[in-house]
């Protein structure tokens, strides 16, 4: 294996991501993620309360729900981002500013590596190994990217929906089939077309004399 275009792409993405994060600072990068998470949480918990107000202008209930959630998300993101931006600027200008930028560089490099690992997972899924170009197969970083990708997949639960809040899971999961009351038996599945016709008609038709 030799150094190929894939290795250069990996180094370039990691370096650009690391430099951007170093300029912004570790605290700003982390607080940016917190801002998006907080805005998403606000939209999830308060969109139902805002939907009736939006329905005064939008007749469709589903469209009103989406508009309410999107509006809350944008407003919350602006407010929280303004607060976190002030906090991040204070940290960068403080005595630990150099440490904050150093941690930002490390964070950015890890983020760039993660982006390439995820991209390689999709590339391997779309293109089998025997059809991949030589600059991908012969890259020095290819085995490490594949190994990290396998570890990333192994860390994902079999049912990702279990990571969601219980309230959201109940909304996404389909309603369970109703069980027959005690003493009643569930209707038997028809074994043939004739059985289905007979069940739908309430019995076999009377013979014609």
Neighbours of 31 (CB within 10 A): 21
The overall average pLDDT reported for the chain is: 81
Query: What's the confidence (pLDDT) of residue 111?
Result: 93
* Integer Cα distance of 121 and 147 in angstroms: 10
Beta bridge partners of 2: 139
Of 144, 114, 139, nearest to 14 (Cα)? Answer: 114
**Digit-coded pLDDT (tens) for 151-167:** 988 887 766 555 555 65
pLDDT for residue 204 is more than 90: no
Tell the residue number behind the tokens 């275009």, with chain if given: 5
Tens-digit pLDDT profile for residues 20-46: 999 988 999 999 989 999 999 999 888
How far, in Å, CA of 128 to CA of 136, rounded?
Answer: 12
| Confidence (pTM) | 0.63
Lowest mean pLDDT: which of 93-102, 168-177, 200-209? 200-209
């Amino acid at each position: 294996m030799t150094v190929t275009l894939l290795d250069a792409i990996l180094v370039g993405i990691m370096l650009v991501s690391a430099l951007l994060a170093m300029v912004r600072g570790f605290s700003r990068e982390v607080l940016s993620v917190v801002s998006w998470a907080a805005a998403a949480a606000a939209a999830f918990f308060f969109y139902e309360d805002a939907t009736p107000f939006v329905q005064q202008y939008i007749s469709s209930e589903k469209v009103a729900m989406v508009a309410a959630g999107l509006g809350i998300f944008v407003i919350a993101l602006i407010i929280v981002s303004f607060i976190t931006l002030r906090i991040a600027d204070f940290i960068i200008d403080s005595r630990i500013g150099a440490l904050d930028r150093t941690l930002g560089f490390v964070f950015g490099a890890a983020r760039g590596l993660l982006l390439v690992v995820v991209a390689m997972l999709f590339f391997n899924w779309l293109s089998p190994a025997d059809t991949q170009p030589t600059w991908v197969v012969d890259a020095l970083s290819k085995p490490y990217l594949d190994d990290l990708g396998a570890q990333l997949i192994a860390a994902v639960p079999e049912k990702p929906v279990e990571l969601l809040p219980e309230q959201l899971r109940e909304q996404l999961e389909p309603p369970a089939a109703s069980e027959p009351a005690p003493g009643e038996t569930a209707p038997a599945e028809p074994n043939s077309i004739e059985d289905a016709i007979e069940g739908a008609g309430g019995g076999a038709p009377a013979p014609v004399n």
